[in-house]
Chain A
Amino acid sequence: MSGIHDMGGNLGLGAVDVRDDGVGFHHEWEARVFAINRLLLERGLYTLDEFRYAIERMEPERYLAASYYERWLHAIEVLLAEKGILS
């Protein structure tokens, strides 16, 4: 079964907005989410596969509404809760 994340070949999408401001992180919290994920992966609290799958399991509407690092934050929160690390 293909999830919302599986976007290859989807029809009906418009032109790519190729503008680029050259900024990797637009908010401080985005950089922090990036770093949190890296540190937790390094500690072996979850694997990259588990992380990716936690994003893929998001509800379609929520997935589409969320920004890139918002999806990351969601995945981290879900994995830590599922593993009983955070309540």
Chain B
Amino acid sequence: MRVTLWGTRGSLASPGPDTDHYGGNTACVEVVSRDGTVLILDAGTGIRRLGTQLVRTAQRVDILLTHLHMDHIQGLAFFAPLYNPQIEVHIWGPASITLGLRARLTRYLSPPLFPVALQEIPGEPILHEVPCDTFTIGDFRISSSLVCHPGPTVGYRIENERAILAYLPDHEPAMGARDFPIEDEWTSGYAIAADADLLIHDAQYTSEQYKRYVGWGHCSMTDALKFAALTRAKQMVTFHHDPSHVDAALDQMLATEVAALAPDFIVTPGIEGTIFNLGGPPFTL
């Protein structure tokens, strides 16, 4: 399983000289298996550049949306494979209490926010609603479950015979807990993340900042590390960086937290362009 970070920023794309190292694109992660199956986790602005590559090679692409906040779907309309009818695009994402996934996506993919309506896109995507029972795409087994974040939001667990990837880009597992972490069965996202080889997790705030933003659906880096420890992650990637956190600040946050908590797993900064090879040596298709 090859995992590539195409966008790691949260809330708002934040390009510029101060964010050049971590990158300014919003959430997008590519997951590829040795058999050529391509999954894309979220469609933030990072998906645009990925699309320019996939449009030349892919026959089918599955986009797994965790939720429909703008930083997770803004790149969708600029994803080149959607405009190539030869490529089969599937989009998985959560419905709401009253609206299906199609109706929810149409709110963005329609005027005045976007000139082209969803039904006018040449290769109209095939939509699937989550959470649902575990499903299979290529050799990936995928499960999803609702997690603590405002509005319907899921985390994804992607497994094959060799590795487990957990993706929880927007997640506030400490919300309401008086002394986080609490018991595993009462922790949002636990089943998604348990024993993952790679956990990509929200780490937006410093602990001081988090006190001002409790309930906004995001996580302090401290709580992210505690969550990773609780779920026995082998490696954690910090994700959903605050737009105001420039490269130097992110480096400082990570160094401080790792020094304070001394985790017994690998902690890797979520830097755009980073590639992880899970469960085997690197491969190319």
Q: Do A and B come from the same complex?
A: no
A-to-B contact residues, CB < 8 Å: none
B-to-A contact residues, CB < 8 Å: none
